[in-house]
Structure 1
Amino acid sequence: MRKMELLAPGGDVDSIKAAIIGGADAVYCGLNKFNARNRAANISIDDLMGIVKLAHEHNCEVFLTLNILILESEIPALFQLLNRLVNTHIDGVIIQDLGLFYLLNTYFKTLPIHASTQFTTHNSGQVKFLSKLGATRVNLCRELSLDEIKDLNKICNSLDVQTEVFVHGSQCLCFSGICYMSSVQSGNSGNRGRCSQPCRDQYQTTNTGHHYPLNLKDNSAYNNIEELYQAGVYSLKIEGRIKKYDYIYSVVNTYKQKIKSLDGSVEFQDDHQRLYKVFNRDFSNGYLRGDINQMFIDNPRDQTLQHLFNTQQLEGEEEKEKAALQLYSEKDLLKQEVKTQIDQLSIDKIPLTIKLSGEMGQPLMVTVISTEKSFTVSSKAILTDKGTESLSKEVVLKRLKAINDLGFVIDKMELGAHLKQMFIPFKELTSIKKMLLYLLNDSKEIIEHVSIPKLKTLLNTNVEPSLSVVISSLEDLDFCQQTDAKIYFRIPSSIGSQWDKLVQLFQNNRNLIPWFPAVIIGDDYEKALEFILTIQPGLVVTDNSGIAFTAYEHGIPWIAGPGLNIINSYSLKTLKETFNAAGAFVSNEINKMQVQRIVKPREFKLFYSIYHPIELMTTRQCLFKQTIGCNKAKMDHSCLATCSKAASITNMNGSNYIIEKSKGNYHRIYNDQSFLNLDIIEQIPNFFNELFIDLSNVKTNTEQHKNTSALISLFSAAIKGDRNAKEKLRDNILHTTCKQYVKGL
């Protein structure tokens, strides 16, 4: 029977220790920077050395999360960190940024790469895309069913890519990696690890009586472990890097016992109730079962006590209080027991005693003594009575300080008084340092630090941006005949439901450019591939990396859409050099200074959307049952293809959001104000090849006081430098925002 890995979260040192004693086969943790759980305690780089050593002693691997988007200004600090990480024994890094793929594959090839859940991997093309980038493991999208996971796992196996599936913990309403709700509302981007979770907030009571209409139950696949094994999943991942050590231990140990029971190594005891004794919002495995109709809970708080009262059928207050006190007593006892065990585990650096000896005219002898090993190395050069600087503890410590970066600490330095009158070339001390590091590092060569590569900045090529227009309705084609702007048409996620109309549309309008959405699952992805091969477009825009891979594979020019979150130069290099992309959108999340730092590759185009409805999230859930109601008893396969409705919800702080569902698309939540950024036209001239306005049929609270043709004419004049046209646009497009551009990431 093959091994199935149990992967546990670790927000701080105690929780990592708890995961280890709980039976985790691997832990994932983040440092103080570059990870997507800024609210977690996180660990220091010095902690990491001891954690890796401790984990490996317990046959547990350690994966480090670097799973945020990386700003151009952060590249130097990132390089400094990576130069240290390559000389540790971590077992992999979990990443989201496409530019980081480039840096790891080019300069830090010894670090195995795991693709984060932020890549929203849900179709075979995305797996192929990530595999070509060098990912050895892919975290599959949380919204997938067991059948969908099984199909993707076959693709992963053929590419020698491991699959990882979240099996327990908090669930986002949105498809991961493409949520901007927190970013737009408070400036705290989920792509930077700062999500403020507005989806968990209370909202004004909806027509269906819900106060928390966006709040999902927690995920629990406890009863699906055997099915996930049969589906071929390699790793079961638990969510919870902001959870405390007692929570981590309880959940990890419960799942570990379940996994062991599959091969009969332990007698099976159904411990599912243990999961209800730690923080939970009740549980659902609806996504795995392919039945997502009862996954909401109108309460974001801990349901531990409520579950206890329900299962014991307690109604009286005295009975409830007694049961609660007993539960708290059990939890306190467990906490004490776990704390006692983890306190016995040490991640302290191993102290070293270094002794230096030798005689004039003889080699310098350096002996290293620790609790684990002792050895002696000698210099090739001999000690002399002449030189630049005589031997001293200060001189030697300065040369050997790199030892402290390997999980060791030089505790004592013994140097005979006679050596202080002797000299040895500095390069000899450097050679000795390398020998010591090699032996202390389990005979693994220390990798030399890599300098930050200098990107070639293109001279100002006096690019004159052109206007492009995005539409999503067949009816909008009429005004397209009245403009010279390029026209892009948004393809629905379920393209098969509108197949004949869409094929005819593109065959009759050869200049129309298809724009593919971020989420295209299963059969819909296969139909999208068939569509591309049928219409043979001269160019595609895509927010989905699976479509990008298909375009690359078939030699079709393609542009990376804003959904691929491009915010640095190395992401552009990845797209250009690995997938021959023709261009890319720059993210609307970054500000003027952050945009200006980006270096464009040669023969590569950059795009930016200056006017569009702000899509905050896409979800596989039905939001109308939570808001305005729906006549259908539950969702079925026809809902995606046929449903077309809109609603709105208002946060208790007054923030209003638009819920929109169009035919062939998943439910989306939009900001109530559309994005309008006319400042960038003058602030960053000669940078973008095309500036986009999105006239998709999404009704926000933004008001347009000009007809579509007139607006297009004004935008066209504005990007050519007509300031009067800009003022007219501001006068005729009311209630807009560009605070993301002002604030940046």
Structure 2
Amino acid sequence: MTKNIELLAPGGDTDCIKAAIIAGADAIYCGLDKFNARNRAQNIAFADLHGILRLAQKHNCQVFLTLNIIIVESEISPLIRLLNKLVKTKIDGVIVQDFGMLYLLGKYFPGLNIHASTQLTTHNAGQIKFLSKLKATRVNLSRELSLDEIQSLASAGHENNMLTEVFVHGSYCISFSGLCYFSSVHGGKSGNRGRCSQPCRDQYVRTAVGKDFPLNLKDNSAYADLQELADAGVDSVKIEGRIKKFHYVYTVVDAWKKQLLRLGKRERLVTDKHDLHKVFNREFSNGFLTGDINKSMFIDNSRDNSAIRRAEIKGGCTDENIQQAKRELYDLKTEILHRVQKKIARLSITKAPLTLVVSGEVGSPLKIVVKTPDTSFAVLSDSLAQKNRHCAQGLNAQILLEKFKALNDTEYFIQHIDGEHLQDDLFMPFKELTIIQKKILFILNDAQETFPPVDVPLLKKPQNLSIQPTLSLLISSARDLHNLTSLISSNEIEADIYFQLPQSFKNNCAEFIEIFTENNIIPWFPAVLIGEDYRDAVEFLHQLQPQRPQHIVTDNTGIAYEAYQNGIAWIAGTSLNIVNSFSLLCLKEHFNCSGAFISNEISKVQIKSVKKPNDFKLYYSIYHPINLVTSGQCLFHQVTGCHKDRIDAHCIQHCEKTSSIKNLKGETLFLEKTKGNYHRIYNEVNFLNTDIVTDVPNLFSSFFVDLRNIRTNTNIDVDTATLLQLFKNHLNGNLDAAKNLRQSLHPTTDIQYKKGI
């Protein structure tokens, strides 16, 4: 029997939600006006949520709420208030990125199903186990995975009672989700806060191979790969598009629903994407899914490709054919809009009316008959009604309306209270009326208990701390290690040395083991470790364990889980985006984490509000090249060209290239590919923040300096020994050191520290 696969559709606003429902979506994901990763979508108001849930439930459609951004400390209280409201709804799940939110949900709100967002960059089995320990019930897998990799993770998910979902239609990002800081640095709009301005889609100065949009990928479409996804064990296929309009949502969901019905009936699947080409697209690719990561996945045009494709079919992209295609598409869009609008107009998100018929007399229980559009039921008071012996007015409809007002905070509203059958001058204690209200809520809520609001305890800062921060340094080559250890010993500078491990070191494991065996250095595991690369990294961790470095640093939660399981002290790296106190508690309490880097995206004010747990160390990077993008694609196809049309295993292991592109503002971006690593884009100038040392005293145990040789436009006017001495002097309170550092390292930026998120 063919497995039923859920069709998960975007709901950027109420009309899109209705369009997805009538097109046959099994589930919808949507956001409120806060805490979601699509701020450019219209989103929905909380006041409409109950009506939307009622409408969806009526059509056997689930609703998942997106709360998938990182949460700064000042937002914890409003977040708790929102979660207290959500537990009283029939929401089917919440989609989450932030570790602090995962912690709060798991500890205080067990009634809410937790879904791990694509922003968590989940791509290996260790990450599945990590999320399972945090009580996630579903995970959205990274878009860069192949079918074989998806099958492996779907199996791991099922072993850990977790469902897996895969994006099958819509935008591809040039970067691994959750690891992109492009929009954050260039414009102050963080992708981790739902404000991405998509600078990767921008036009750039024409490259050497004649491309104007060198970072622009085609759209993802797995339409013809549905059988393979089913065979891989995927539980849900997800359509991207919360900033798209309702006609787009209807068209795409309708096409996918028909394909899923064919799959269920074991009919031949359609490969023609004609219907999908009717609405916005950048042409389609399934390159990541099939493992064929090639240069044809790019498109040198950021606009809608529908007219171009239609013109090509009609004989070529002449001006006449393009204009004709645009007219036809306009007429087609108008027809779809009118047709879908008529259908969604019949759907209402109005709450269902309640009529309460109340009767009672002295010496008898109070009886309330509750009538909804679908059913009716009666509840009785536990105590007997009494004669009113107070001067106040006796029990009546107006008093009951006030005391039962919590019923309006559900998918229902009190339309009318009939008190005609109440004896005059009747009295019932208010606490008894509250009990009656709870009985009604229990039945209306499908016999699920409603809980009082959770009051999450406020965290306090440790008192009377006096911390003298140390210096820590990052390198990534044996040559740099030799030079650095000589400099440190000869100049009597104390510093921890971190060694950045590559994302793939299949044939170099023995070499790295030797480096760590012979030197007192600390391994830093990268953010992305897929398939064999993850298994090799785990094996390396186990081989390294007898040497017992004081700790490891990891940007990958899969390695974090392995370290935790094996009793290895670990520190959460910069890419884990730690911005609030509950994230620190999450990592310490659940995974015995001993320290964490605070994200460089947040400001002085936002950092100052973070409260670290006892016996926990905080770290901060004060100087580093800014990694804007980490990509699974080859970034050189569109810039300098390559003799290969596609990425193969040899490329990741051995390719070394650098280049640059320039945007139309004249800013340069640096492209780099090193051995064993994915492609990266670096900012024009490096990050330097000397102010934090004095702005936020007695918080950080160590300040971190990245000494890797990465090309940018930042000039270093002193040798390494002098540079290290300047950093040491600055940490020791030398008043001139900060000025000397800024003069020696120029130009630099600390825009994120000033603006925050």
In structure 2, the residue matched to 1:723 is: 735
Matched, 1:695 2:677: no
After TM superposition, the structure 1 stretch with the greater mean CA deviation from structure 2, 203-212 or 634-643, is 634-643
In structure 2, the residue matched to 1:384 is: 387
For the Cα contact (< 8 Å) 1:35–1:68, is it kept in 2? Answer: yes
In structure 2, the residue matched to 1:175 is: 176
Match of 1:514 among 507, 512, 523: 523
Deviations 1:223-276 (A, max 9, x none): 110011111111111000111111111111111111111232767555521001
Match of 1:373 among 351, 372, 375: 375
Q: The residue matched to 2:145 in structure 1 has which SS?
A: coil
Q: The residue matched to 1:723 in structure 2 has which SS?
A: coil
Please tell me the residue identity of whatever aligns with 2:433: L
Please tell me the residue identity of whatever aligns with 1:28: Y
Distance 1:270 1:642, change over 3 A: closer
Q: Matches of 2:219 and 2:320 in 1, distance apart?
A: 29
Give the number of aligned pairs: 744
Query: Equivalent residues in 2 for 1:10-29 (5 A)?
Result: 10-29=11-30
Match of 2:354 among 340, 352, 355: 352
Q: The residue matched to 1:272 in structure 2 has which SS?
A: coil
Query: Equivalent residues in 2 for 1:479-558 (5 A)?
Result: 479-481=484-486, 482=488, 483-509=493-519, 511-536=520-545, 537-538=548-549, 539-558=551-570
In structure 2, the residue matched to 1:203 is: 204
Deviations 1:517-547 (A, max 9, x none): 1111111111111111112242110011111
Please tell me the residue identity of whatever aligns with 2:300: D
Distance 1:642 1:431, change over 3 A: same
Q: Matches of 1:306 and 1:32 in 2, distance apart?
A: 36
Distance 1:266 1:636, change over 3 A: closer
In structure 1, the residue matched to 2:637 is: 625
Q: Percent identity?
A: 52
Q: The residue matched to 2:150 in structure 1 has which SS?
A: helix
Alpha-carbon shift at residue 498 of structure 1 (Å) = 2.9
In structure 2, the residue matched to 1:652 is: 664
After TM superposition, the structure 1 stretch with the greater mean CA deviation from structure 2, 404-413 or 320-329, is 320-329
Alpha-carbon shift at residue 421 of structure 1 (Å) = 4.1
Distance 1:299 1:572, change over 3 A: same
Q: The residue matched to 1:469 in structure 2 has which SS?
A: strand
Matched, 1:467 2:468: no
In structure 2, the residue matched to 1:410 is: 414
Alpha-carbon shift at residue 499 of structure 1 (Å) = 2.4
After TM superposition, the structure 1 stretch with the greater mean CA deviation from structure 2, 720-729 or 351-360, is 351-360
Q: Matches of 1:335 and 1:271 in 2, distance apart?
A: 23
Alpha-carbon shift at residue 46 of structure 1 (Å) = 2.4
Distance 1:464 1:423, change over 3 A: same
Please tell me the residue identity of whatever aligns with 1:714: L
Match of 2:306 among 299, 304, 307: 304
Deviations 1:582-628 (A, max 9, x none): 11011111111111111111111111111111111100111112112
Q: Matches of 1:68 and 1:41 in 2, distance apart?
A: 17
Distance 1:383 1:13, change over 3 A: same
Matched, 1:363 2:358: no
Query: Equivalent residues in 2 for 1:262-273 (5 A)?
Result: 262-264=263-265, 272-273=273-274
Alpha-carbon shift at residue 384 of structure 1 (Å) = 2.3
Alpha-carbon shift at residue 318 of structure 1 (Å) = 4.9
Q: The residue matched to 2:299 in structure 1 has which SS?
A: coil
For the Cα contact (< 8 Å) 2:241–2:249, is it kept in 1? Answer: yes
Q: The residue matched to 1:306 in structure 2 has which SS?
A: helix
For the Cα contact (< 8 Å) 1:387–1:425, is it kept in 2? Answer: no
After TM superposition, the structure 1 stretch with the greater mean CA deviation from structure 2, 593-602 or 351-360, is 351-360
Alpha-carbon shift at residue 408 of structure 1 (Å) = 0.9
Q: The residue matched to 2:158 in structure 1 has which SS?
A: helix
Alpha-carbon shift at residue 417 of structure 1 (Å) = 10
Alpha-carbon shift at residue 314 of structure 1 (Å) = 4.6
Q: Matches of 1:85 and 1:189 in 2, distance apart?
A: 26
Please tell me the residue identity of whatever aligns with 1:491: L
Alpha-carbon shift at residue 193 of structure 1 (Å) = 0.3
Alpha-carbon shift at residue 516 of structure 1 (Å) = 0.9
Q: The residue matched to 1:186 in structure 2 has which SS?
A: coil
Q: Matches of 1:389 and 1:740 in 2, distance apart?
A: 61
Q: Tell me, which stretches of 5 or more residues in structure 1 are unaligned?
A: none
> What value does the CA root-mean-square deviation take over the aligned residues?
1.7
In structure 1, the residue matched to 2:576 is: 564
Matched, 1:662 2:674: yes
For the Cα contact (< 8 Å) 2:470–2:494, is it kept in 1? Answer: no
In structure 2, the residue matched to 1:444 is: 448
For the Cα contact (< 8 Å) 1:360–1:385, is it kept in 2? Answer: no
Please tell me the residue identity of whatever aligns with 2:23: G
Distance 1:312 1:377, change over 3 A: same
Q: Matches of 2:192 and 2:375 in 1, distance apart?
A: 44
For the Cα contact (< 8 Å) 2:588–2:594, is it kept in 1? Answer: yes
Matched, 1:193 2:194: yes
For the Cα contact (< 8 Å) 1:615–1:668, is it kept in 2? Answer: yes
Q: Matches of 2:651 and 2:244 in 1, distance apart?
A: 37
Alpha-carbon shift at residue 156 of structure 1 (Å) = 1.5
Deviations 1:54-87 (A, max 9, x none): 1122121111111000111111111111111112
Q: Tell me, which stretches of 5 or more residues in structure 2 are unaligned?
A: none
Distance 1:356 1:388, change over 3 A: farther
After TM superposition, the structure 1 stretch with the greater mean CA deviation from structure 2, 380-389 or 31-40, is 380-389
In structure 2, the residue matched to 1:425 is: 429
After TM superposition, the structure 1 stretch with the greater mean CA deviation from structure 2, 417-426 or 234-243, is 417-426
Distance 1:394 1:735, change over 3 A: farther
Q: Matches of 1:13 and 1:350 in 2, distance apart?
A: 17
Alpha-carbon shift at residue 632 of structure 1 (Å) = 3.3
Q: Matches of 1:378 and 1:128 in 2, distance apart?
A: 48
Distance 1:315 1:580, change over 3 A: closer
In structure 1, the residue matched to 2:342 is: 340
Matched, 1:396 2:400: yes
In structure 2, the residue matched to 1:679 is: 691
Deviations 1:550-604 (A, max 9, x none): 1111111000001001011111111001100011011111111111111111111
Alpha-carbon shift at residue 401 of structure 1 (Å) = 1.3
Q: Matches of 1:560 and 1:197 in 2, distance apart?
A: 28
Q: The residue matched to 1:339 in structure 2 has which SS?
A: helix
For the Cα contact (< 8 Å) 1:473–1:697, is it kept in 2? Answer: no
Alpha-carbon shift at residue 409 of structure 1 (Å) = 1.1
Distance 1:424 1:6, change over 3 A: same
Alpha-carbon shift at residue 285 of structure 1 (Å) = 0.4
Query: Equivalent residues in 2 for 1:240-259 (5 A)?
Result: 240-259=241-260
Query: Equivalent residues in 2 for 1:43-54 (5 A)?
Result: 43-54=44-55
Alpha-carbon shift at residue 415 of structure 1 (Å) = 3.4
Q: Matches of 1:182 and 1:419 in 2, distance apart?
A: 67
Deviations 1:398-429 (A, max 9, x none): 32111111111112233349767443211111
Alpha-carbon shift at residue 479 of structure 1 (Å) = 2.1
Query: Equivalent residues in 2 for 1:91-240 (5 A)?
Result: 91-240=92-241
Q: Matches of 2:211 and 2:424 in 1, distance apart?
A: 79
Distance 1:420 1:614, change over 3 A: farther
After TM superposition, the structure 1 stretch with the greater mean CA deviation from structure 2, 270-279 or 578-587, is 270-279
For the Cα contact (< 8 Å) 2:292–2:646, is it kept in 1? Answer: no
Q: Matches of 1:606 and 1:63 in 2, distance apart?
A: 34
Q: Matches of 1:598 and 1:303 in 2, distance apart?
A: 46
Q: Matches of 2:392 and 2:405 in 1, distance apart?
A: 18
Q: The residue matched to 2:20 in structure 1 has which SS?
A: helix
For the Cα contact (< 8 Å) 2:314–2:321, is it kept in 1? Answer: no
Please tell me the residue identity of whatever aligns with 2:440: L
